[in-house]
Structure 1
C-alpha cells in the first residue's frame, strides 16, 4: 500500500500538473482570441470598404440613365465621401498590426494614388451639372478609375491580412506548445525536487527510528508503535505483550574478542530474532545488548511461547568470526496488558522487573508478569 505521505505527494503532483495545464491553456486561448480579434477587425474594415466600392460601381453603372435623379447623385456622393475614412481606418489598422510594412507598401502607394483620384472625383461632384453630358461622363470615368484602383488594393490587402493571420496563428500554436512544454518542464523539475526532498525526509525518518548497527527498530520506534497499539486496545479490548531481552555475559565477548566481534554477534542475534519472531511482531534494539519484542494481539501464553523459541534459537545460534567458539544465552522478561488498562511506562516497568528476576535466578530463562 502507498503510505499517506506518498498519497499526499501524488495528490500535490496531480494538482500542480492540473494548474499548469489550466494556465497554459488559458494563455493559448486568450492570446489566440486577442490576435484573432485584431486581424478580424482589420479584415472587417477592408471588407466594408470593398462593399462600398462594389456598391459605387453599381451606382456608377446606372449614372448615365439616372443622372437627373437627385437621390441617385446623393447616393454616389455618400459613397464617395466614405472613401477617405475607410482608407484612414485601414492605414491605422495596418500600422497597429504585426504585418511587415514592406509587404503592404505597394498597396499603401496605390491608396495614395486613389486618394488623388478621390479628390478629383469629389471636385467633379461639387461642380457637376447633371444636365451636361460631358460632366456626367467625366464623373463616370473618374469613378470607375477610382473604383478599380480601390478594388485591386483592397483585394490585395485582404490577402495580406489573411496570410498574416494564418502565419500568426501558426506562430501562436508553436508558442502555446512552447509554453505548455515549459510549464511541464517546470512542473517536472518541481516534482523531481519534491520527490528528492520526500526521499530525504523518509531516509532521515528511517534513520531516526532505526538502530544503525542491526537495522532493527530503535527505542523511539518501539515506544511510538507500542503507544499506538495501546490506544487501539483501549477501543477493541485487545492484548499487548512486551518481551525485554538481555544477552547474558555479553561483555565477556567484547572483552575477549574485541568490539568488532561483539558488533558482529549483535547483528547475528538481531537477524535470528527477526527470523523467529512473527511478521506482526516488532523486534527492537534498545541499546547495548538489550533487545525487545512487541507482540500485538498476543496474551501471556503466546508471549511465553515466542520467548522460549527465542531463548532456544539463541542457545543454538553459531556465532560469527572469532566468537564462533562461544555459546550465547539470553534472559527474558515478559509482561502483558489487556485493553490498554495501563500506560506504556507501567507495562515496560513490569517487563523490566521480570527481566531482572530472570538474571537474578540464574539467567538463560524467561520470567513472566501476567496482566495486572
Structure 2
C-alpha cells in the first residue's frame, strides 16, 4: 500500500509543478507589459518637467521683469525645453508595452500641446520685454496644457510603477512556490527511489535468507559456498549438523515450539561462527557451517563446542524437560586433496561437491553410530 501511495504523491507533485509552471507562463504573458520598463526614471523626468512648467508659470505671472533678459526669449527657451521633453516622451511611450501609457487620447493631448508651442513661438518676439495679448494667451494655454499633461503622466506612471512592484512581488512568490514544488518533487522522487531500494534489498534478503533463523538459506549457501574454496591450496572445513529426533519435538509440543528451538539453534551457530564463515539452514533441522582456513582438528573443536551447548540447551516451554542433541559430520578440503599435477585453481564447484559428499557421509555415520556425536571424514 505504501508504494502506490508514494507513487500517487509523486505524480500529484509533478502535476502540480507542471500546472503551476503553465500558470506562471500565462501570468508572465499577461504581465509582460509591466515588466522591464524603467518607470522610476520616467517619473523623475516628469518631476523635472513639472519644475520647468512651474518656471514657465512664474514667467507668465511674475510682476517684475528683468530688462536685461527679454521675457520673450525666456518664455521661448523654457517652452522649447518642455517641447523637447514632450517629443522625447512621445517616442518613449511608443516603445512602452503598457497600454495605459500609449492611450491614443492622451497622445493626442500631447500632440495638441506641441501645436500650441508652435503657435506660441510664432507669436512671440524673443526681443520683447512684454508680450502681446495673443502671445500671452497662447503662452497661458500652453502652460495649462503642459501642467495637465505632466500631472496626468505622473499619475499614470505612478500607477504603472505600483502595478509593476506588485507584479514583481507576485513573481518572486511564484518563483519561490515553483522552486518549492520542484524541490518537493525531487525529494519525493528521492524518497521513492530510497523506498524502492529498501524494498529491493528486503526482497533480496528474503530470497537469500531463511526467514525463521535469519541464516543463509540453502540456495544462497550452495551459491556462495564454492566461492569460499578458492584458492584450492587452502584448507576449508565443512560442518554438517542435524538435530536428533527433532520430529518428536514438533509432534509432541507443536510446530511453534519446534520453531523456537530452530531459532535458538540458529543463534548458537551465529555465536560460534567467524565473520569469514558461512552458516546456513539447509532445510528442516539440517544446518551447515563452512569454515575457510580451518583444519580438521579446529573444525572438530568447534563441532564439539556446538554439541555440548546443544546437549545442555534448555528447551522452551512446554518442552523444557525434553533433551536436545545434534549429530555432526565434518570433512576438510585441504592441500593434500589437490594433486601435485593439477592447477591450484581447480574447479571449485567440483571440489565443493566432493567436500559436501564427504561431510554428508560423515554425518550419516554419526547418526548410525548413536547420534549426539561427531564424525570426521
Q: Which range, TM-score by smaller chain?
A: 0.5 to 0.7
Question: What CA distance in whole angstroms lies between the structure 2 residues aligned with 1:354 and 1:156?
Answer: 101
1:141-162 deviation per Cα after TM superposition (whole angstroms, max 9, x unaligned): 3443344334433433443344
SS of equivalent residue, structure 1 residue 213: coil
- Residues 242 and 285 in structure 2, CA contact (< 8 A), matched pair in contact too: yes
Choose between structure 1 and 2: higher helix proportion: 1
Q: Match of 1:12?
A: none
Structure 2 residue 96 is matched with structure 1 residue 93: yes
Q: CA deviation at 1:206?
A: 1.5
How far apart are residue 176 of structure 1 and its match? Answer: 2.6
| Number of the residue aligned with 2:214 | 215
Distance 2:72 2:263 in 1: 117
Report the counterpart of residue 83 of structure 1 in structure 2: 86
* Aligned equivalent of 1:343: 348
When residues 344 and 305 of structure 1 are mapped into structure 2, their CA distance, relative to the original with a 3 A threshold, is farther
| Aligned partner of residue 291 in structure 2, secondary structure | strand
**Structure 1 pair 226–54 and aligned structure 2 pair: CA distance change class (3 A):** farther
Q: Which runs of 5+ in 1 are unaligned?
A: 1-19
Higher-Rg structure is 2
Does the alignment pair 1:273 with 2:259? Answer: no
Cα shift at 1:346: 2.0
Distance in 1 between the 2:116 and 2:73 partners? 21
- Contact 1:331/1:365, CA 8 A, preserved across alignment: yes
Q: Aligned pair in 2 of structure 1 residues 329, 345: CA closer, same or farther (>3 Å)?
A: same
| TM-score (norm: length of structure 2) | 0.66
1:253-287 deviation line (CA, Å, top 9, x unaligned): 55665655544433332233233334553321011
Structure 2: distance between partners of 1:228 and 1:73: 105
- In structure 2, the gaps of 5 or more residues are 1-16, 61-68, 336-343
Structure 2 SS opposite 1:285: strand
1:286 to 265, 282, 286: 282
SS in structure 2 at match of 1:80: helix
Q: CA deviation at 1:79?
A: 5.4
Normalising by structure 1, we get a TM-score of 0.67
Partner of 1:332 in structure 2?
329
Counterpart in 1 of 2:10?
none
Tell which deviates more after alignment, 198-207 or 115-124: 115-124
Shift of 1:44: 4.2
Measured against aligned partners, the alpha-carbon deviations of 1:226-275 in whole angstroms (never above 9, x if no partner) come to 355456x58xx865433222233444555665655544433332233233
- Inter-CA distance 230–158: structure 2 relative to 1 (3 Å threshold): farther
Cα RMSD of the aligned pairs, angstroms, is: 4.5
How far residue 290 of structure 1 moved from its aligned partner, in angstroms, is: 1.7
Matched residue pairs, number?
Answer: 328
Measured against aligned partners, the alpha-carbon deviations of 1:286-317 in whole angstroms (never above 9, x if no partner) come to 11222111324434333222122112222222
Matched, 1:353 2:358: yes
Report the counterpart of residue 3 of structure 2 in structure 1: none
CA distance 1:230–1:123, shift in 2 (3 Å): farther
Report the alpha carbon displacement of residue 211 of structure 1 after superposing the two structures with TM: 1.0
Name the residue aligned to 1:302: 298
For 2:33 and 2:110, how far apart are their aligned partners in 1? 29
Inter-CA distance 222–80: structure 2 relative to 1 (3 Å threshold) = same
Deviation track 1:22-64 (CA, whole Å, cap 9, x = no partner) reads xx9xx9xxx8xx9799344444455556666767877998997
Of 236, 241, 247, 2:243 maps to 247
The SS at the match of 2:211 is coil
Residue in 2 that maps onto 1:186: 185
Residue 12 (structure 2) aligns with: none
Cα separation, partners in 2 of 1:240 and 1:209, compared to 1, 3 Å: same
- What is residue 145 of structure 1 aligned with on the other side? 144
Output the CA distance in 2 between the equivalents of 1:38 and 1:44. 14
Matched residues in 2 for 1:337 and 1:51: separation? 103
Q: Given the superposition, is the C-alpha separation of residues 315 and 345 from structure 1 closer, same or farther in structure 2, using an over 3 Å criterion?
A: farther
For residue 313 of structure 1, the aligned residue among 309, 312, 317 is 309
Cα distance in 2, alignment partners of residues 281 and 193 from structure 1: 35
